[in-house]
Structure 1
Amino acid sequence: MSATTFDIDSLKVILREGAGMDETVGFDGDILDSDFEALGYESLAMLETASRIEREYGISLDEEAFVTARTPRALIALVNDHLTASRSA
C-alpha cells in the first residue's frame, strides 16, 4: 500500500481485520488515549497489528518503540514518523 499517512481509521481497519475486535469495548468512541490492553488487545494481537502495518505501509517498526506505543495515539505517531522518514530517505 505504501500510504502517506496513518490515522485512527487506518488503525481501526487493521485492528478489526488482523486482531479482531473485543465486542465489549466501545471501539467507536474516543479511544486515542486508551491503553491497548484496556481495549482488549493483548501482545499477540499487537504483534499481528505491527506485522500488518509494516506490510501494508512498507515500513519497518522498531520493536522497542512499538512496545512502548501503548495507546492508539502513540502508535499512530510512531507509524507516521516512520512514513515521514521513509519519504525523506
Structure 2
Amino acid sequence: MLAEKFTLSDLIEIMRARAGVAEGVRLDTAIGDTSFLELGYDSLAVLEIQARIAERVGVSMPDDAVSRMPTPNAAVEFVNQQLAQGR
C-alpha cells in the first residue's frame, strides 16, 4: 500500500535510523535546503536513504532518483511526486 504523503519528518527519521548522523550535524534544525553532502551524507548514504524511502512508502524509485534528490526538501518533493504518479 502506498503512503499518502511523505514529509521532512519522515525523511529525518529515516536519516537518523538508517544512515546515521554525522558528528556535529543537527537534524532538528532547518536542514531542508542544505545538500546531503553538506549534512555529511555521501552518495552511498543517499542511496541507502533512497532504498529506505522506497521500502517505507511503497514506491519503486527510478535509477536517477539520487541525482534528483540533492537536498532533503528536494527528496520530499520527489517522493511525493512518485506517490502521486503511483495512485
Query: Shared fold (TM-score greater than 0.5)?
Result: yes
Note the C-alpha offset of 1:26.
Answer: 2.2
Structure 2 contact 68–78 (Cα < 8 Å) conserved: no
Q: Aligned equivalents of 1:16 and 1:70: distance in 2?
A: 17
For residues 11-26 of structure 1, what are the structure 2 equivalents within 5 Å? 11-26=11-26
Q: Which runs of 4+ in 1 moved over 2 A?
A: none
Q: Secondary structure at the match of 1:64?
A: coil
- Is there any run of 5+ residues in structure 1 with no aligned partner, and where? none
Structure 2 contact 2–58 (Cα < 8 Å) conserved: yes
> What percent identity do the matched residue pairs reach?
39
Q: TM-score, normalised by structure 1?
A: 0.89
* One-letter code aligned to 1:54: A
Q: Secondary structure at the match of 2:34?
A: coil
More helix by share: 1
Structure 1 residues 45-54 or 59-68, which shifts more? 59-68
Q: TM-score, normalised by structure 2?
A: 0.91
Note the C-alpha offset of 1:56.
Answer: 1.2
